[in-house]
Chains A and B, each alone.
Chain A
């Protein structure tokens, strides 16, 4: 990445990157793309090595005590940073929206959860809304369509930010996706607990994606992207999937999800 323009160049923000358990295990390049974008936007990025998972699987299974334990770990680990940035809308929403709800009977932890929530951002919206950053000298000659993941869209209001960033990529043209506000059928553990329903949903999503004629599927959440990419590949479709951060960091000419370098 070349030099980029950003608003708050005067002060260097100290960002703790919460890479998410899924990116850690399944697609590290998203984590490295996030570091590169955050540095380009004038942040000093640190990756607390003790990080594991935000606790979303426990939260969505109803294990609130377990979620609280994991939340307390995450809060303690990330408290020292100016910002906590997450390359996933649903993990960011867990911290921003759901952590505070977990501690309504423990005022001390509630205050700490509130403070962390206020400083936690999903990566793409952080770059636009907090850093006022946009990419320069990034190019990718391709057509793409964008999937709005539900947690980011509805819990954090992320919709325009990724599109604004992607519009600044030279040669990249975005095509509208029919029914784009509809869930892809991932839903965390839902997709393996109710595989038949999930499959019916993602099949319809894959048909809509194929109908755009786009070469690339982009999104901001690896779980949803793996679900859609996995279905597209099983269907024999040639659509390739990337996290939007990878494209913005100039990695769009590298291997897509499911491709070997």
Chain B
């Protein structure tokens, strides 16, 4: 994580996001498109429910036997000529990558989009080491020019409208042209990046799957930038979380079907590549060195701390696209590498619960994320789990603790509860005009933006008692 030392509070970030009308336009365009395409893909795929169960079981099986599959993957990757590096955490992984780059005398590295790279703070580490980093994914290219962190795990530049992107390209590209259409903008980026692909000393990618029985690394993109990142340079470095393992290529295929349909609604990405070892004698191209950095970064701790379900996540972004909160505030307001429901589960693990206590709470627990998750992660249950840790570790605010304690005491003492609720409805009625309350002390959270209906003069139980007494 490369969190700045002093950053605005969650409320301030939310305020900034909600006050930005262009952001909402950008979020609605991309997530709206993603939701309707996903829905169409699922409607056309009768096997979804069965594939989802299979996908869940594959991931659960691997996670339950991580030790076995990690060793198998290492053995097969080594046999293919790859070099394996084990990193316990983000800083260790970054040191390893930087050391490989230095040893290769690298001045310029190209990078294909990888959320793990963001998680471990690799962009920052490369910069600190004085190594030029060229982001080659179109969206990553955009946010590199803008100096922004990603705001979505599939579309990192989702927060930028195409009009804003045109402006960025005009300011930064050498020969942007008119940029009158999306095609012209893509052409300008392609033109800009082409020479950088060929000049890079090292290419860094992530992994969508690590295939244990072949030692191969699978990447998926729609732009072909992963292939151009990993093939021309002398050295290819993969950074991958250890939860990316699958037993075989066939298992990867099941998860690919789920991943791509859930992310974009397409049946398959334009480019699906299995990278297996360095260039062999007789090969026309490929890197001469192939390094795989396997990162734990809290994953084995998740296994130990009841978050094993979250290790199934294949980073499709469907939970973000369908989240009512994400759809209003976008990714940056979360203040973490991973936004949305999956991010609100992961971030407390990665950065500590005290630093991210708003994330599990800022959720309506409506369950749509779990419903669309292609590997059936019970996200609301996991978020509730964080809330109970907030409660038991005393991180919940005093106001909430006291309020809940009073309410609970009353709810456990019905006679008192009846009396107090009887008073409460009467007191509330004092503030009503007609049938509505526009403003009331202690109810600002509700009445600032909406009216509160006037309660009845007597509660249901009081009215019911009266009726019962009558013959």
A49 to chain B: which residues have CB within 8 Å? 414, 461, 464-465
Interchain CA distance A60-B368 in the complex, whole Å: 17
Q: Are A230 and B461 in contact (CB under 8 A)?
A: no
- B403-444 near A? 1/0 per residue, CB < 8 Å: 010011011101001000100110000000011100000011
Q: Are B450 and A187 in contact (CB under 8 A)?
A: no
B449 to chain A, nearest CB (A): 4
Say which one of B128-136, B226-234, B452-460 lies at the interface with A: B452-460
A230 and B445 contact, Cβ closer than 8 Å, known pairs A52-B414, A61-B387: no
The chain A residue sitting closest to B465, CB to CB, is: A49
Q: Which of A24, A151, A188 has the most chain B CB atoms closer than 10 A to its own CB?
A: A24
B408 to chain A, nearest CB (A): 5
A230 and B465 contact, Cβ closer than 8 Å, known pairs A25-B425, A60-B365, A187-B363: no
Q: Are A192 and B451 in contact (CB under 8 A)?
A: no
Interface size on B, residues (CB 8 A): 62
A231 to chain B: which residues have CB within 8 Å? 449-450
B446 at the interface (CB under 8 A from A): yes
A183 and B435 contact, Cβ closer than 8 Å, known pairs A19-B460, A199-B450, A200-B18: no
Interchain CA distance A167-B195 in the complex, whole Å: 65
Q: Which of A62, A183, A191, A255 has the most chain B CB atoms closer than 10 A to its own CB?
A: A62
Interchain CA distance A260-B425 in the complex, whole Å: 15
B450 to chain A: which residues have CB within 8 Å? 199, 202, 227, 230-231, 233-234
Q: Are B449 and A24 in contact (CB under 8 A)?
A: no
B455 to chain A, nearest CB (A): 5
Say which one of A8-16, A63-71, A120-128 lies at the interface with B: A63-71
B384 at the interface (CB under 8 A from A): yes
Q: Are A190 and B362 in contact (CB under 8 A)?
A: yes
Q: Are B404 and A57 in contact (CB under 8 A)?
A: yes
Q: Are A26 and B408 in contact (CB under 8 A)?
A: no
A2 at the interface (CB under 8 A from B): no
A155 at the interface (CB under 8 A from B): yes
Q: Are B410 and A52 in contact (CB under 8 A)?
A: yes
The chain A residue sitting closest to B362, CB to CB, is: A194
Interchain CA distance A31-B434 in the complex, whole Å: 22
Q: Are B435 and A199 in contact (CB under 8 A)?
A: no
- B79-100 near A? 1/0 per residue, CB < 8 Å: 0000000000000000000000
B363 to chain A: which residues have CB within 8 Å? 187, 190
B14 at the interface (CB under 8 A from A): yes
B266 to chain A, nearest CB (A): 23
Q: Which of B365, B388, B417, B424 has the most chain A CB atoms closer than 10 A to its own CB?
A: B365
B97 to chain A, nearest CB (A): 37
Q: Are B367 and A150 in contact (CB under 8 A)?
A: yes
B325 to chain A: which residues have CB within 8 Å? 197, 201
Q: Are A230 and B407 in contact (CB under 8 A)?
A: no
B391 at the interface (CB under 8 A from A): yes
B408 in complex: contacting residue of A66, A193, A202, A259, CB < 8 Å: A66
Q: Are A61 and B368 in contact (CB under 8 A)?
A: no
Q: Are B362 and A230 in contact (CB under 8 A)?
A: no
Interchain CA distance A61-B402 in the complex, whole Å: 12
Q: Are A230 and B451 in contact (CB under 8 A)?
A: yes
Interchain CA distance A102-B453 in the complex, whole Å: 33
Q: Are A195 and B446 in contact (CB under 8 A)?
A: yes
B29 to chain A, nearest CB (A): 15
Taking A28-B458, A73-B412 as known contacts, 6 extra A-B pairs with beta carbons closer than 8 A to each other, sorted by chain A number, are A49-B461, A52-B410, A70-B408, A201-B324, A227-B450, A230-B446
